[in-house]
Chain A
């Protein structure tokens, strides 16, 4: 069975590097993009099995990117997990209502990250 490919879209390059190391160590193939636009391009060209999408990004934020992703025929079925900096008290339902499959609150433990990815890929 081939490795699952995960696309990470986030403008924080160091965090992206850390996530990449973690996911590769867990046996996933990783592609990255540093903003919404290039993220959309990569989604189309690489056809990942899952997308990790940060919310606060310059120019095109996570929600806008999500809307665009869900509008693309070949891409809209790919599960998306939003990376959010909102806390427990907050209304995280916005992430849920937006059409994302799940959300992860930063900072997160690697166990939580891997668990949610595993769940979304099923």
Chain B
């Protein structure tokens, strides 16, 4: 079908117009988006400003209310301790009343400021792995004098072992303090308080039960509301602010937990709160994120090492669930033993252990990784073939700037730990080929290297060598290896480092077995060795 030139021209003109229209429309959209964006930015700035004002307000109110109270409290104690002079009986009584009311005001202001901060979102939990049993026991001991004074029987029923959960320890401490304090307040002398912590499937459940005055059914749902004071007993010490439970509820809920109460008037009350056990994957990521945030704040570095079991299912089939769990626990313990500092920690997930090294540069992490390898290899002696363990390291901020990326980076750098036994095949082959290897240890004397006395190469692989040596060699010693390969003209110069050296004792002349890891292999050398092993 032929189109006349005029029709063609019209068609082109129409297309051109459409194109121009669309360009115009897209430009308008772009402008529109730009305006919206600017508007959003402005709103964002306003919100930030408002937030800052809120923080300033709370800080200033906090200071303005607390400072005069601080002054009054110190002077009241000065008078009470008779520093300016002796007090009459009446004066003493009045000063005691002043002191008591100052403390009451302090508690009220503390609670008001707490709830105000929580409600304006200024309180963010600083989560870390916490042992709730230890935490609870700490709070219980703090209350001991009061418990004993009232002759109350306190029972702690803790379901051990309890996994550590990921919570803010200070806030959890405050929850326990509030609830135990309440139980004490509303329970008469010679009463009973039972504290339980139970490990449930997806959460842990804590409860504080007392044999106190209880709560009437119609008041049960008012308990957690602010300023509702139920059952205000007369007399000093029993007065509260009506905010304690409201704050406790907020603290539990900010951890995605729930709190409820069961009570019978005249018999007693039981406060129960649950805290979810987060999946360890989220925990690890959040945990690493938090540690990174801290590192960022200090402008410091942070490294992580991931120890993972590859082919987990295969190993699971061979070794069974119990053994696998045992291995993971052991790996975590091994990691903990290679810590350089008190601040290093480990977090465990199903198939891996993440070692977190605050303030570790890349070199530090590398050093720890080597030590870990050595330790794990020793541990793995009888497991080879049944399990494959990999180690990978990554450093913040060099390689990633958030937890997820850092962990992934470490995982992409996972290297199977050289086990040696798997590469045994090359031993016999090498005998046929005949490699000459000279290994020198850079000595103290200038440019003199002493030859490493070794008998035979037990095995070798892409990563290193295993030798039978005469002496026990110090891990970390640097070596220079000169390897003459049959199809190479020049001997390969390789640097190595001693990883481990153990007495095997089988050979009397060369009773030690030493593992050497190649360091900084250039790609050509790697290729050459690989070719060698393959052949």
Residues of A in contact with B (beta carbons under 8 Å apart): 12, 14-15, 18-19, 21-22, 25, 56, 85-91, 93, 97, 106-110
Contacts and interface: CB of A to CB of B under 8 A. Distances in A.
Contact of A110 (B63, B69, B74, B170): B74
A46 B402 CA distance: 47
Most buried by B among A87, A89, A93, A110: A89
Contacts of A25: 78, 81, 83
A18 B78 contact: yes
B62 to A, nearest CB: 5
Contacts of A108: 70, 73
Contact of A56 (B63, B78, B118): B63
B77 interface: yes
Given A85-B62, A87-B62, A14 B117 contact: no
Contact of A106 (B60, B66, B78, B297): B66
Nearest to A12: B67
A107 B114 CA distance: 15
Interface in B181-205: none
A106 B71 CA distance: 9
Contacts of A109: 73, 77
Contacts of B71: 12, 14-15, 18
A56 B62 CA distance: 11
B241 interface: no
A15 B63 CA distance: 13
A72 to B, nearest CB: 22
Contacts of B59: 56, 85-86
A85 B74 contact: no
Would you list the 5 A-B pairs with minimal beta carbon distance, nearest first? Answer: A18-B74, A107-B70, A106-B70, A85-B63, A85-B66
B375 interface: no
Contacts of B139: none
A91 B73 contact: no
A109 B106 CA distance: 12
Contacts of B66: 85, 106-107
Interface in B36-53: none
Interface of B: 59-60, 62-63, 66-67, 69-75, 77-78, 81, 83, 102, 106, 110, 113-114, 117-118, 123, 126, 170-171, 174, 247, 297-298
A27 B460 CA distance: 73
B114 A87 contact: yes
B76 to A, nearest CB: 9
Contacts of B110: 87-88
Nearest to A110: B77
Nearest to A93: B126
Contacts of B174: 88-89
Given A85-B59, A85-B66, A90-B117, 15 more contacts: A15-B67, A15-B71, A18-B71, A21-B78, A56-B59, A56-B63, A89-B114, A89-B170, A89-B171, A91-B126, A93-B126, A97-B297, A106-B69, A107-B102, A109-B73
A18 B75 contact: yes
A86 B75 contact: no
A90 B115 CA distance: 11
Contacts of B62: 85-87
Contacts of B83: 21, 25
A85 B67 contact: yes
Contacts of A110: 74, 77, 81
A117 B526 CA distance: 62
30 contacts: A12-B67, A12-B71, A18-B78, A19-B74, A21-B78, A21-B83, A22-B74, A22-B77, A25-B78, A25-B83, A85-B62, A85-B66, A85-B67, A87-B62, A87-B113, A88-B114, A89-B117, A89-B123, A89-B170, A89-B171, A90-B117, A90-B123, A91-B126, A97-B297, A106-B67, A107-B73, A107-B102, A108-B73, A109-B73, A110-B81
A22 B106 CA distance: 20
Nearest to B84: A21
A93 B125 CA distance: 13
Most buried by A among B102, B110, B298: B110
A46 to B, nearest CB: 22
Contacts of B113: 87
B272 to A, nearest CB: 22
A52 to B, nearest CB: 12
A26 to B, nearest CB: 10
Contacts of A91: 126
A106 B73 CA distance: 10
A15 B117 contact: no
Contacts of B81: 25, 110
A87 B117 CA distance: 10
Contacts of B60: 56
